[in-house]
Chains A and B, each alone.
Chain A
Amino acid sequence: MRLNALTQPDSLYRGLSSLFLDSLILDIYKRSKEPIAPYTSSISTASSSTILLCSLQSYEIRRGTEKRPCHEITGVESGKLWDRRYWFEHSVESKQPHLNVATTSPSISQEAAPPKDSTVELISNVITQLKVPFARRLAKRLDYLVEASREEYPHQAPMVPESLRDFINYLQSIPNVRYPSVVLTTNGNIRLEWRKARNHHFAVEFLGDGNVRFVVFAQDPKHPERTTRVSGLTSADSLLSIVQPYGVFDWVSKQAMDVYGRVVRTLLNLSREENGIGVIEQRSTNQDIANMVGASQEMVSRIMKDLEIENYIKIGKNGVIEIPGKLPQDTDGPSERSAEAPRTAA
């Protein structure tokens, strides 16, 4: 088996063990000599390879009047789910198997549908594959949503697997995000929501075809008392660049929220209670607070502005900071929104 002929520079096989490759290709080769009929199978490897599962589906493709065997392979590699499809056909001249990698579906008629990952399988992959600290909790939540959906809509699929797969891929592409609120739309698509306040809201629905619908409520950078609201449809891989100008990742990213939490804790430590409200009389500039929490002055300024606009703090002309009630908690969990609701609408 000549592996070089079977792979391309940006191959799907990069990082996979040769042991796995051998068994995979042998399997394909063996099967392709047999009469072709649509089937699926799985291969796993006992080596230290990170491959957990690989499914094959075979069907015939038409090349003019000729029919050739074609295979689609879906695999799961530790840390990422790869599902790019490629096809595989016998070379007419050499009668040897030859693999072509297709990043998009081949533009040839096919007699069987591409393989689809089942919801249950994908949810179990969340735990084993997703490199996020909340993977287990997320899988539990997804299980719950499937059950809830089955109870309410028994006549439809509880969750769209393609939407789930896009969602997993998306989370893998944005590390260090906070745990999102996950719900299902009535048609079974996954919808995520990160929300800190009325003017810090980012929601994404995965449509299952590589596209997403998104909603952003963000503070207008030039007029902080105003809220910018946008929504739209885009491809999942363009989403980050589209929402970036609205500062979405300032409140979606775990790192930014860590700074947020440190600023809040510092303010609490500096304050003393006076007539039921917290007061920081010692004049501290944003740069002072930035030095205390180990963050940039710009980041701290933005957080202080947020806290002021949402009426969590009041900064007097003399620099005295008042904290009229509880400050928002920095949690990475479901109680996030209920921890302390903002006092006024943006």
Chain B
Amino acid sequence: MQGDPLLDSDHITRYCGASQINEDGTISGATFRLREGESYLSVNWLEFLELGNREAESSEIRRVLSSKLGIGTKAKIGVLNVSELRRYIFAESPDGRDLQVRHQPEPDDPSHSGVFNVEMDDDLIADLITENVRESYPAKVQLDWSEIRRKIALDRHSNTRAATK
């Protein structure tokens, strides 16, 4: 429901634009700064999707994001744990910032949620949040054309064999 806080054990994802990814593939603090028009950090709530595994979850997040944003070829989806994030920021930020993570569903994005209490140009908090990224996945599936060609060839081969039988 709108405004419900997420559980400590839950996980959230944030879209990390390709121009906000460091050369070594790590996610920079620029990712966790409010974008123009944002009053909170837009994230997605993974457990809400009830898909059971990270691969299916990231695939669904990719689908949702691609309907809303222009996805960069080398963009990523960063995953954070709610409890780790909140505790770390509370303990390490100079002002003991108490971040709130709440469900903010949208019609075309029901798992949409928000990280609240982040202010505009809050570089220090953004850099601290970055330290909590547990894992990351490509935001755009890279097509393996050689694999696709191999599958098409196999498919044709089996069709031909079925026809000759």
Contact call B73/A151, Cβ cutoff below 8 A: yes
User: Is there an interface contact between A229 and B124, defined as CB atoms closer than 8 Å?
Assistant: yes
The reply to whether A334 and B22 form a contact with Cβ atoms under 8 Å apart is yes
Shortest Cβ distance from residue B128 to the other chain A in the assembled complex, whole angstroms: 8
Q: Is the CB of A148 within 8 A of B74?
A: yes
Overall SS of chain B's interface: loop
- A141 and B23 contact, CB distance less than 8 A: yes
Task: Tell whether A181 is near chain B: CB-to-CB under 8 Å.
Answer: yes
Cα A135 to Cα B20 with chains together (Å): 20
A148-B19 CB under 8 A given contacts A183-B30, A185-B33, A203-B127: yes
Which A residue sits closest to B27, measured CB to CB? A183
Interface-located stretch among B3-11, B45-53, B64-72, B142-150 = B64-72
**By the criterion CB–CB under 8 Å, are A337 and B70 in contact?**
no
Instruction: Please state if A193 and B18 are interface contacts (CB–CB under 8 Å).
Output: no
Q: In the complex, which of the residues B26, B36, B94 contacts A186, with contact meaning CB atoms closer than 8 Å?
A: B36
Q: How far is B24's CA from A227's CA once the two chains are assembled, in angstroms?
A: 24
Residue of A154, A183, A336 ringed by the most chain B CB atoms within 10 A: A183
What are 5 A-B residue pairs whose CB atoms fall within 8 Å in the complex? A152-B17, A152-B19, A185-B33, A193-B29, A198-B131
Cβ 8 A contact of B30, one of A191, A230, A338: A191
Would you call B131 and A148 a contact (CB within 8 A)?
A: no
- How many residue pairs between the two chains, A and B, have CB atoms under 8 Å in the bound complex? 92
When A and B form their complex, which 8 residue pairs have the shortest distance between CB atoms, in order from nearest?
A: A334-B23, A231-B124, A148-B18, A184-B19, A148-B19, A334-B24, A152-B72, A181-B22
Interface residues of B in 79-103 (CB under 8 A from A): 92-94
Q: Is A335 an interface residue (CB 8 A)?
A: yes
Interfacial residues of chain A within 262-287, with CB under 8 A of chain B in the complex = none
Which range holds the interface residue count of chain A? Answer: 35 or more
A191 in contact with B28 given A152-B18, A334-B22 (CB within 8 Å)? yes
Residues of B at the A interface (CB closer than 8 Å) are: 17-26, 28-30, 33, 35-36, 69-75, 92-94, 121, 123-124, 127-128, 131
| Chain A residue with the shortest CB-CB distance to B38 | A186
Q: Is A149 on the interface with B (CB-CB < 8 A)? A: yes
Contact A152 B71 (CB under 8 A): yes
**Interface residue from B23, B26, B36, B123 paired with A215 (Cβ < 8 Å):** B123
- Cα-based distance from A141 to B74 in the complex (angstroms): 14
Interface residues of A in 138-167 (CB under 8 A from B): 141, 145, 148-149, 151-154
* Shortest CB distance B157–A (Å): 37
Known pairs A152-B71, A203-B29; A183 contacts B127 (CB<8 A): no
By the criterion CB–CB under 8 Å, are A227 and B22 in contact?
no
In the complex, A268 Cα to B127 Cα: how many Å?
Answer: 33
Q: Indicate if the CB atoms of A148 and B72 lie closer than 8 Å.
A: yes
Most A CB within 10 A of own CB, among B18, B25, B33: B18
Q: Is the CB of A183 within 8 A of B19?
A: yes
A182 to B30, CA, bound (A): 10
Write out the residue numbers on chain A whose beta carbons fall within 8 Å of the beta carbon of B71: 152
Q: How far is the CA of A149 from the CA of B17 in the complex (A)?
A: 8
Which residues of chain A are within 8 angstroms of B127 by Cβ–Cβ distance?
201, 203, 215, 217
CB distance B17 to A148 under 8 Å? yes
Residue A136 at the chain B interface, CB threshold 8 Å = no
A187 within 8 A of B: yes
19 additional A-B residue pairs with CB within 8 Å, beyond A184-B30, A186-B35, A229-B93: A149-B19, A151-B73, A152-B71, A152-B75, A153-B70, A181-B28, A183-B19, A184-B20, A186-B20, A186-B36, A191-B30, A193-B29, A203-B123, A215-B124, A215-B127, A229-B124, A229-B128, A230-B94, A337-B26
For A203, list chain B residues within 8 Å (CB): 29, 123, 127
Q: Is the CB of A193 within 8 A of B22?
A: yes
Nearest chain-B residue to A189 (Cβ)?
B30
Do B94 and A229 have beta carbons less than 8 Å apart? yes
Q: Tell me if B17 and A338 are in contact (CB < 8 A).
A: no
CA–CA, A187 to B30, complex, Å?
Answer: 10
Q: How far is the CA of A322 from the CA of B69 in the complex (A)?
A: 50
A337-B29 Cα distance, complex, nearest whole Å: 14
Distance (whole angstroms) from the CB of B29 to the closest CB of chain A: 6
